[in-house]
A and B are shown apart, each in its own frame.
Chain A
Amino acid sequence: DTAVSQTPKYLVTQMGNDKSIKCEQNLGHDTMYWYKQDSKKFLKIMFSYNNKELIINETVPNRFSPKSPDKAHLNLHINSLELGDSAVYFCASSRRPGAGKSSYEQYFGPGTRLTVT
């Protein structure tokens, strides 16, 4: 069973289009994330989300928006796609640490390679 899944695996689209990437986790986690990996393999957090709090990396354009229909899903919507949005997008999930407790590891999906032409 896949713990964190993403669809589609590959997405090729033209500039100006709107697209979505879906993410689902079956681990019972309550916190999910979206990361972007650029062409130089650098990974950067875009969003951190649980059912109470959305934390947005200030460098992320507002064309990007996460939407969570339920705790097991965190989809990524991208409006007006630009060439610079081409990258691999990773979804991840983890349990959320309680106050004073240790953190928990994040489990990553297989990634979605987005190519904007």
Chain B
Amino acid sequence: AQSVTQPDIHITVSEGASLELRCNYSYGATPYLFWYVQSPGQGLQLLLKYFSGDTLVQGIKGFEAEFKRSQSSFNLRKPSVHWSDAAEYFCAVESSNSGYALNFGKGTSLLVTP
């Protein structure tokens, strides 16, 4: 089954610093990949998605992600982090054998320090 791994449970960055959150997927063909963000007590908001084509995808709030087939990765990046980016970030892959439901990674909790 398609799955994703987020190796980092917690990440702390200083405001204004760059950010990279890691995501590795397990799937034979080209996966459909997503990054979602969850602020405390809130639902999930889609940051960006990759279906095909250009391997560098742009999302909302200044985020981007790069699909690298050779490394089975879909890492999320942001050049300059704002305090409001503190949240839980989830990488997900669509699962064709679950009615197109999403298989989520365990999430990375981002803390932003002044």
Contacts and interface: CB of A to CB of B under 8 A. Distances in A.
Given A45-B95, A110-B42, A103 B107 contact: no
B71 interface: no
A43 interface: yes
Contact of A45 (B45, B49, B98): B98
Interface residues of chain B: helix, strand, loop or mixed (majority): strand
Nearest to A106: B102
A70 interface: no
A43 B111 CA distance: 20
Interface residues of A, number: 28
Interface of A: 31, 33, 35, 40-45, 48-50, 53, 55, 57, 90, 94, 96-97, 102-103, 105-111
A43 B104 contact: yes
Contacts of B51: 102-103
A42 B100 contact: no
Given A57-B98, A94-B100, A105 B43 contact: no
Given A40-B106, A42-B107, A110-B43, A105 B49 contact: yes
